Amino acid sequence: MAVCFAWAWGDETAVQLVDMGWTLGNTSASYVAPNTTYQYIPPGAPSGHSIGVRRNATLVQPAAFRPATAQGSIQVVARLSPGSVPGNNYRLITVLDSVTNRGIYLTLSTGGGLNLYVDNVWKSASALAYDFQDWVTITLFYDMRATLWIGRVEANGAESNPAATDSRSAVASGSSVTQMIYGFVDNSLLATIYGMMVVRDTYAEAAPVGRYATIIQVDSDVGARTTGTWTPDTGSDSYARINENPLDTANYTEEASPSASDVLTCGFTANLTSKLGFTPGTIDAVACYTYSTGLNNTAKAGVGDGSSVTYGSTETIGSTTTSAGVIAETKPSGGAWAGTDSPEAVYTVVSV
Structural domain that includes position 176: 3-200
Report the pLDDT value the prediction gives residue 245, as an integer from 0 to 100.
Answer: 61
pLDDT digits (tens, 9 = 90+) for 209-231: 999 999 998 999 999 999 999 99
Q: What is the pLDDT of residues 154-210, one digit of tens each?
A: 999 999 999 999 999 889 999 999 999 999 998 889 999 999 999 999 999 999 999
Q: Give the model's pLDDT for residue 108.
A: 96
Q: Mean of the pLDDT values across residues 289-312?
A: 94
Domain end call among 200, 229, 255? 200
244 has a pLDDT exceeding 70: no
210 in a domain, yes or no? no
Decide if 268 is inside a domain. Answer: yes
Predicted pLDDT at 343:
98
Chosen domain end from 169, 200, 231 = 200
Number of domains in the chain: 2
Taking the model in full, what pTM does it have? 0.95
- Residue 29 is assigned to a structural domain of this protein: yes
191: left (phi over 0), alpha (psi -120 to 50) or beta: alpha
Q: Say whether both 147 and 103 belong to one domain.
A: yes
Euclidean distance between CA atoms 190 and 183, whole angstroms:
8
Single out the residue of 53, 161, 54, 148 nearest to residue 107, CA to CA.
161
Number of Cβ within a 10 Å radius of residue 176: 15
Q: Are 56 and 178 members of one domain? A: yes
The CA distance from 336 to 328, in Å, is: 10
pLDDT digits (tens, 9 = 90+) for 111-143: 999 999 999 999 999 999 999 999 999 999 999
Task: With a cut of 90, say whether residue 45 has pLDDT above it.
Answer: no
Are 26 and 170 found together in one domain? yes
Average pLDDT across the chain, whole number: 94
Do 273 and 183 lie in one domain? The reply is: no
Q: Domain of 110: which CATH number?
A: 2.60.120.560
Last residue of a domain, one of 200, 230, 259: 200
Instruction: Report the DSSP beta bridge partners of residue 324.
Output: 290
What percent of the chain shows pLDDT beyond 90? 85
In the predicted model, what is the mean pLDDT of residues 263-275? 96
Are residue 10 and residue 139 in the same domain, yes or no?
yes
